[in-house]
Structures are given as structure tokens and as C-alpha cells.
């Protein structure tokens, strides 16, 4: 994985010192909250319901055991002993004191981590396929390009005061495991006409109050011109985007209002100039970055593993884990293992400091010291020998991290909601927990197969409810929590926004209604159909009927 | 009736204006004020930005939040309803 050079170290160190001074001036009263707010937001610090919140970047979700242990140390030393992984593959701490922030950031800097650009109107953490560099369907590892984007976008003077935040995701396979079409810009690595690396570019996606699925603006931008093309997009938006209305400032609104063709013309105008300037990525520089992401020293192994196969036969719980949480790997004899942060009744994305230490140890022992954070709020050990998956599973089991529900109905994405967030209208976590407990039967979940259920506590959609196969949005009805249900959303290469099925439900009706929806699917599915396939075939009506069949009084 | 609340500058924790407008952490220690007095107290704590961040008044019945934001204010006063924060921890 990437290691800081002297420029990275200097930049992060200088930012820590600068922000430490700003914190000291705030604590002394020299800065008002209004003066401090834009400064803290540049450093990932929010003021939430109960405390300050620090959001720490995990660039493209890739980190190592030393960094994970440091995250655990921070949770233990400055917080309440846990952290929360987010849908941007970052980690949030919910309870830091203002005056501890400089020490936290210094501790992070020692392991090449920071909180820069995890909030504010700038280019946020670039996300990617959690199985990058491991998936067997990948054209090319997208992480070097994520790193190049990180270096280009970090404290970029032209893009530090954008109309709103800007999110980029990159994938290296046709299968979209990073929800790229829900991003301001989504990039898919393809082969260009000359056989070289190129990018299919989607623009204008986003969730929130006015959701849009991104549209294809370019089919194959040559890799060397990637930064020129991104700059052209950002520049076009920066010049034309609205700044008078926060709800209409995202690039999705601009693209929708002027139309894709007009926006493309604007981008091409800038690109025509920019691609001949010094933004071209030299081949040797791309190769230098790519070298950081060279595959680890895999052993030459047979495709199958005796210890793995014997464990499958010997232990039904392991077999279940293998069915649901173990993914194919490009290298024979290896697998990627999903570490679910969705235990029955747990808080989606939460992990204790002790669990962080345990996962760090396991990554070091079993996965070439590498860890991934998934936007679904889980972790992944990307490169595990099949022979060692049983031992890894037992170790995960010992620390409460072997829940075998990856991509199943209880693998719920949920934002912190009104339990923590000052923007939320309703709670998300208790609704997710109630659903998790209701659907806890693993046999039932496996009968259902993959289904993505996403929950947000407000229209800002941090819980990705628009693109959940089943989406749940918390709304406020005269001081009471209600929940709007959508069906048919999808975050992948067939990206779609869910249809609102009807009136919102009170909190305690959500889990039963979702179970009736899933039961209806079991009744009407055709052979081999996943939940989303059935929804696409029959539309939302049967599910609407199931949701409302026992309800007579809703808001 | 109203109480006046804010987040504390040093650690962001929820605080209320109590006796003599001193910051207190528990909602049952907050001074319950009529509309006019609440405005005066709010103005007073706005003038103390070294302690009170983003102060505002909350409708209450007794010491129980009662306005449209009553759930949010209940959660602010009692902490998250779920998860590790409820279980405690080192903080």
C-alpha cells in the first residue's frame, strides 16, 4: 500500500500544527464559533448533539494493522472505547473533547493518517471497490488511481472552496462494488482504443434531498488525461454551479438543469486546453504509484484447500460463514474475507477498541498486513489463504466478529441518525437493530439471499436509503418519528433509485413491514431470482401491498 | 416554559443554564424560565462564548422537553438511546 513521502509527511505535520493553533485559539475564546467552524470542518471536526465528532480519513478504504491499532488506541484514550465506520469508508469518533483533538491528530499523523477533507466543501475521500487488487473480475487495481486523485485533490487551491462537497469513486471491474453512479463523479477503468488504461466517466450522481443517478459523460478518457478531465469537470461546475442555495449546489443539480450534452460541451471546452498542459500524468509517475500497490508475495497454491474443505464439512457454522462472508480471489488458494460489523442487534459500523486490536492482529497474521473498510460499513481482510480461513474464522468468532451475514438482510447500512447527528430528523440505529433482531434467523436470511437494506435518519441520505433494495428514510411528523419506505433502489452497475411505496410508518411498524416485504418476495420469486431481480420483474406493487396489508392508520 | 441549552466549548457536552446562569450538565438542574426570562438568560449566555456554544431555548413542561424537537432534546439530555455509548466505556 501507499507510504507517505516527505511531502505527505510535511503537509500532514504542518496541518496538525496549524489546526492545533486554531483549537488553542478557539479554546481561549480568541476565535468565535462562527470563525472556528469553517476551520474545524476542514479538519473533519463537527459539533454534534452530544459532543464534538472527529472523522478520520481512510483513503480508498485501505489501511494496515499499525493504523488499525492506532485507531483503537485513539478510541480507548480519547473516546468511549469504540469507533464507527462510515459509508465513505472513514471512521468517526463520537466523543472527543475539543482540547484533545490536537493530540489525536498527532497520534494519527505518526501512522500516516489524518482528517483532512473529511468534511467541508471540498473533494472528499475517494472510495473504491473493497476487493480492489483481490477480485477475480478486475481489469486493473483502481487504488493507484485513487491515490493519484488523493494527491491531486488534497488542499487543491482551486477546489478548496467548492459550491458543495464533491465525491469521487473508482472501480476496476464491470461489477460495481463501490456505487460509483451515486457519486458526483464515478470512474470505471476500461481499456481504451489503444489497449491502454482509460476511464469511463459518470457525472452528476448523488443522493440527498434531490437524488440523481450519474450519467455517462465520457466512454474512455485516457489514463494520462484523467486529472485533466477531472479538473475540467470540477472547473465547469465551480464556475457554473449555484452557490446561492445549498440544496441546489451539488453538481447533480447543474447537470440536471443544463442537461448532459450542454455540460459535456462545457467540460470539453476546458478539457481541450487542460489536456495539453502539465496535468498529464507521466507514465513513470503512474508506474511509481502503482508499484506501491503491487500484489503481495502470494504463494503458488492449488485452487482448493484441504483444511478449508474439511472445515466446511465439519462445522456448519463455518460453512455458513464461508458461504456468506468469503469471496473469490484472483490468486489461486486465496480468498477475501468480509468481517461483518453488523452483529444481531448491534450498531451498524461500530467496532470496539479491543476488536480493532484483534482485527489488526488478524490482518497482520493472515492477510499480508492489509485491511479494507467497505462502504457497507464492514471490514475486509483481502488476501487470506484458504488454508487459514478456518483459523481466521475461529479468531473472529472469539471477538464477536464472525457474524455470517455479509450482503444479507441484516447487513444493514445505517447512518448514526438522531442518536448522534445534529442534522437528523429521526433515529436510524434502533430501527436497524429491531430489524436485525427480527430477521436474526440465519436460515431465513440465507433463504432470502442477498438483499441490501439501507436506512437514513434524514434526507441527507448518509445511509444510502435511495439505493437500498429496500430503503428506509426517517422523517419528522410533528415531533414524532416516521419512516418512509422505498423499494427497488440499487447501488450497482444497474443503479436505480427506489420507489416510495406509500405513506410513512411509525418506528415499530418498520421491521414487521420489511419482513412482510421479504416474505412476499419468497412467495413470488422465480427460480434463481434475487430480491432485486424480482422487484425489477414485477415492480413495487406486490411489495407495497405487503407493507401496508396490516396497517390501517399511518401518517 | 423554557430552559436554555448549549454545547460546552471545551468538550462539546450538552449543558443547560442553571442557577445564576451557571452551566449544569443535567436537565433537571436547568432553570425553568418563562418566555421573557428565557430571552434574558439566552442573551446572557450568548455573551459567554467561552462556555456556551450555539445556545438556544427549549420548550419544556417541568424539566421535560415538550416542543416539536422534544425527541431530539430528550436524546441530548439523556444520551444516545442505543449502542456503545449507553453501555458506558472509558469516557
List pLDDT tens digits, range A272-321. Answer: 999 988 899 999 999 999 999 999 999 999 999 999 999 999 999 999 99
Judge whether A535 and A517 are in contact, CB under 8 Å: no
Return the pLDDT at A423.
95
The three-state secondary structure class of A62 is strand
Which of A47, A76, A429 is opposite residue B12, by nearest beta carbon?
A47
Tell me, rounded to whole angstroms, the distance of Cα A288 from its chain centroid: 27
DSSP string computed for A160-213: SS-SS-B-EEEESBSS-SS-GGGSSEEEEEEE-TTSSEEEEEEES-B-TTS-B-
pLDDT in tens, A34-71: 999 999 999 999 999 999 999 999 999 999 999 999 99
Segments making up each domain of chain A, as ranges: 6-110, 134-290, 306-398, 413-548
A&B contacts, CB < 8 Å: 93
Can you read off the three cell numbers belonging to residue A537? 420483474
Predicted ipTM?
0.94
Cell 469504540 identifies what position?
A82
Select the residue from B9, B13, B66 to test the A interface by mutation, using most A Cβ atoms within 10 A: B9
Return the pLDDT at A550.
77
Q: What percent of chain A has pLDDT over 70?
A: 99
pLDDT in tens, A63-121: 999 999 999 999 999 999 999 999 999 999 999 999 999 999 999 999 999 999 999 99
The 8-class DSSP code of residue A496 comes to B
Q: Quick one: A134-290 is in which CATH superfamily?
A: Sulfite Reductase Hemoprotein, domain 1 (3.30.413.10)
Q: Answer yes or no: do A99 and B70 touch at CB < 8 A.
A: no
Return the pLDDT at A551.
64
Nearest CA to CA, how far is A452 from chain B (Å)?
A: 22
Residue of A nearest to B50 (CA): A29
pLDDT in tens, A212-245: 999 999 999 999 999 999 999 999 999 999 999 9
Q: Answer yes or no: do A98 and B10 touch at CB < 8 A.
A: yes
Residues 6+ apart with CB under 8 A from A149: A123, A126, A168, A170, A226, A227, A230
Q: Answer yes or no: do B54 and A33 touch at CB < 8 A.
A: yes
Give the pLDDT band of residue B77 (cuts 50, 70, 90): very high
Return the pLDDT at B89.
40
Q: Answer yes or no: do A419 and B53 touch at CB < 8 A.
A: no
Return the CATH class of domain A6-110.
alpha beta
pLDDT in tens, A488-543: 999 999 999 999 999 999 999 999 999 999 999 999 999 999 999 999 999 999 99
Q: Answer yes or no: do A476 and B54 touch at CB < 8 A.
A: no
Q: Which residues pair with A336 in a beta bridge?
A: A327
Residue of B nearest to A45 (CA): B12
Return the pLDDT at B91.
33
Which of A99, A427, A476 is opposite residue B81, by nearest beta carbon?
A427
Return the pLDDT at A277.
81
Select the residue from A27, A343, A356, A419 to test the B interface by mutation, using most B Cβ atoms within 10 A: A419
Residues 6+ apart with CB under 8 A from A298: A331, A333, A334, A383
Q: Quick one: A413-548 is in which CATH superfamily?
A: Sulfite Reductase Hemoprotein, domain 1 (3.30.413.10)
Select the residue from B8, B11, B49 to test the A interface by mutation, using most A Cβ atoms within 10 A: B11
Residue A554 predicted with pLDDT over 90 = no
Residue A555 predicted with pLDDT over 90 = no
Nearest CA to CA, how far is A355 from chain B (Å)?
A: 13
Q: Whole-angstrom distance between the N-terminal and C-terminal Cα of chain B?
A: 33
Q: Answer yes or no: do A49 and B90 touch at CB < 8 A.
A: no
Which of B50, B83, B89 is opposite residue A419, by nearest beta carbon?
B83
Provide the sign of the torsion angle of the four alpha carbons A171, A173, A178, A179, taken in this order. positive
Q: Are strands A413-414 and A379-385 parallel, antiparallel or unpaired?
A: unpaired
Task: Just give the CATH number of A306-398.
Answer: 3.90.480.20
Residue of B nearest to A93 (CA): B85
Which of A33, A347, A430 is opposite residue B53, by nearest beta carbon?
A33
Residue A469 predicted with pLDDT over 90 = yes
Residue of B nearest to A419 (CA): B80
Select the residue from B85, B86, B87, B88 to test the A interface by mutation, using most A Cβ atoms within 10 A: B85
pLDDT in tens, A349-372: 999 999 999 999 999 999 999 999
Chain B CB contacts of A27 under 8 Å are: 9-10
Task: List residues in chain A touching B: CB distance below 8 A.
Answer: 26-27, 29, 32-33, 47-52, 76, 79-82, 94-95, 97-99, 347, 350, 352, 418-420, 427, 429-430, 433, 476, 478-481
Q: What percent of chain A has pLDDT over 90?
A: 98
Cα–Cα dist A455/A433, whole Å: 11
Q: Answer yes or no: do B12 and A50 touch at CB < 8 A.
A: yes
- Matching fold, domains A6-110 and A306-398: yes
According to the 3-state scheme, what is the secondary structure of A92-150? EECCCCHHHHHHHHHHHHHCCCCCCCCCCCCECCCEECCCCCCCCCECCCCHHHHHHHH
Q: Answer yes or no: do A81 and B75 touch at CB < 8 A.
A: no
Nearest CA to CA, how far is B7 from chain A (Å)?
A: 7
Chain B CB contacts of A479 under 8 Å are: 67-71
Nearest CA to CA, how far is B13 from chain A (Å)?
A: 5
Phi, psi of A202 (to 5 degrees): -110, 145
Cell 443544463 identifies what position?
A258
pTM of the predicted structure, to 2 decimals: 0.96
Residues 6+ apart with CB under 8 A from A294: none
Chain B CB contacts of A98 under 8 Å are: 9-12
Task: List residues in chain B touching A: CB distance below 8 A.
Answer: 7, 9-14, 49-50, 53-54, 67-72, 75-76, 79-85, 88-91
Q: Answer yes or no: do B83 and A481 touch at CB < 8 A.
A: no
Q: Answer yes or no: do A80 and B68 touch at CB < 8 A.
A: no
Q: Which residues pair with A171 in a beta bridge?
A: A188
Amino acid at each position: 500500500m501507499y507510504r507517505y513521502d516527505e511531502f505527505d509527511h510535511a503537509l500532514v505535520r504542518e496541518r496538525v500544527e496549524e489546526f492545533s493553533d486554531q483549537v488553542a485559539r478557539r479554546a481561549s475564546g480568541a476565535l468565535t464559533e462562527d470563525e472556528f467552524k469553517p476551520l474545524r470542518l476542514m479538519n473533519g471536526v463537527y459539533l454534534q448533539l452530544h459532543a464534538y465528532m472527529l472523522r478520520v480519513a481512510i483513503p480508498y478504504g485501505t489501511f494496515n494493522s499499525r493504523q488499525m491499532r492506532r485507531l483503537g488506541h485513539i478510541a480507548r484514550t480519547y473516546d468511549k472505547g469504540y469507533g464507527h465506520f462510515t459509508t465513505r469508508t472513514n471512521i468517526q469518533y463520537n466523543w472527543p473533547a475539543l482540547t484533545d483533538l490536537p493530540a489525536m491528530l498527532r497520534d494519527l499523523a505518526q501512522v500516516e493518517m489524518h482528517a483532512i477533507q473529511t468534511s467541508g466543501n471540498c473533494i472528499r475521500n475517494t472510495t473504491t471497490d473493497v476487493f480492489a487488487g483481490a477480485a477475480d473480475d478486475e481489469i486493473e487495481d483502481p487504488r493507484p488511481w485513487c491515490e493519484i486523485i488523493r494527491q491531486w485533490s488534497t488542499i487543491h487551491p482551486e477546489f478548496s472552496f467548492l459550491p458543495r462537497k464533491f465525491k469521487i469513486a473508482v472501480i476496476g471491474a464491470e461489477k460495481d462494488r463501490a456505487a460509483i453512479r451515486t457519486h458526483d463523479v464515478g470512474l470505471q477503468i476500461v481499456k481504451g482504443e489503444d489497449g491502454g488504461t482509460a476511464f469511463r466517466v459518470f457525472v452528476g450522481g448523488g443522493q440527498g434531498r434531490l437524488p440523481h443517478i450519474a450519467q455517462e459523460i465520457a466512454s474512455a478518457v485516457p489514463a494520462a488525461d484523467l486529472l485533466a478531465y477531472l479538473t475540467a469537470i470540477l472547473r465547469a461546475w465551480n464556475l457554473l454551479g449555484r452557490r446561492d442555495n445549498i440544496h441546489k449546489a451539488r453538481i447533480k443539480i447543474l447537470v440536471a438543469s443544463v442537461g448532459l450534452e450542454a455540460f459535456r460541451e462545457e467540460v470539453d471546452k476546458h478539457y481541450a486546453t487542460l489536456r495539453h498542459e502539465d496535468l498529464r500524468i507521466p507514465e513513470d509517475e503512474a508506474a511509481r504509484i502503482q508499484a506501491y500497490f503491487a500484489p503481495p508475495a502470494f504463494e503458488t497454491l492449488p485452487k482448493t484447500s484441504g483444511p478449508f474443505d474439511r472445515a466446511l464439512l465439519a462445522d456448519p457454522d463455518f460453512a455458513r460463514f464461508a458461504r456468506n462472508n468469503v469471496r473469490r480471489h484472483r490468486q489461486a488458494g486465496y480468498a477475501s474475507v468480509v468481517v461483518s460489523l453488523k452483529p444481531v442487534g448491534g450498531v451498524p459500523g461500530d467496532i470496539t477498541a479491543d476488536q480493532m486490536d484483534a482485527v489488526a492482529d488478524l490482518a497482520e497474521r493472515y492477510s499480508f498486513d492489509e485491511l479494507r473498510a467497505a462502504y457497507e460499513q464492514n471490514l475486509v481482510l483481502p488476501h487470506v489463504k484458504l488454508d487459514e480461513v478456518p483459523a481466521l474464522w475461529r479468531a473472529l468468532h472469539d471477538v464477536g466478529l464472525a457474524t455470517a451475514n455479509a450482503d444479507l438482510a441484516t447487513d444493514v447500512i445505517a447512518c448514526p441518525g438522531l442518536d448522534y447527528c445534529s442534522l437528523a430528523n429521526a433515529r436510524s440505529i434502533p430501527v436497524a437493530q429491531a430489524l436485525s433482531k427480527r430477521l436474526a434467523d440465519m436460515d431465513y436470511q440465507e433463504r432470502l439471499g442477498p438483499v441490501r437494506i439501507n436506512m437514513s435518519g434524514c434526507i441527507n441520505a448518509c445511509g444510502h436509503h435511495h439505493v437500498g433494495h429496500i430503503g428506509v428514510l426517517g422523517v419528522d411528523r410533528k415531533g414524532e418519528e416516521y419512516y418512509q419506505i422505498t423499494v427497488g433502489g440499487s447501488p450497482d452497475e444497474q443503479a436505480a433509485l427506489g420507489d416510495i411505496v406509500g405513506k410513512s410508518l411509525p418506528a415499530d411498524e418498520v421491521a414487521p413491514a420489511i419482513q412482510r416485504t421479504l416474505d412476499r418476495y419468497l412467495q413470488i420469486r422465480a427460480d434463481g431470482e434475487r430480491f432485486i431481480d424480482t422487484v425489477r420483474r414485477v415492480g413495487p406493487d406486490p411489495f407495497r401491498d405487503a407493507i401496508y396489508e396490516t396497517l390501517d392508520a399511518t401518517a | 416554559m423554557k430552559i436554555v441549552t448549549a454545547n460546552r466549548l471545551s468538550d462539546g457536552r450538552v449543558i443547560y443554564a442553571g442557577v445564576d446562569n451557571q452551566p449544569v450538565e443535567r436537565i433537571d438542574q436547568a432553570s425553568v424560565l418563562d418566555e421573557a426570562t428565557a430571552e434574558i438568560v439566552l442573551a446572557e449566555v450568548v455573551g459567554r462564548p467561552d462556555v456556551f456554544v450555539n445556545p438556544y431555548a427549549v420548550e419544556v413542561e417541568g424539566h421535560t422537553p415538550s416542543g416539536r424537537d422534544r425527541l431530539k432534546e430528550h436524546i441530548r439530555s439523556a444520551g444516545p438511546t442505543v449502542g456503545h455509548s449507553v453501555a458506558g466505556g472509558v469516557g
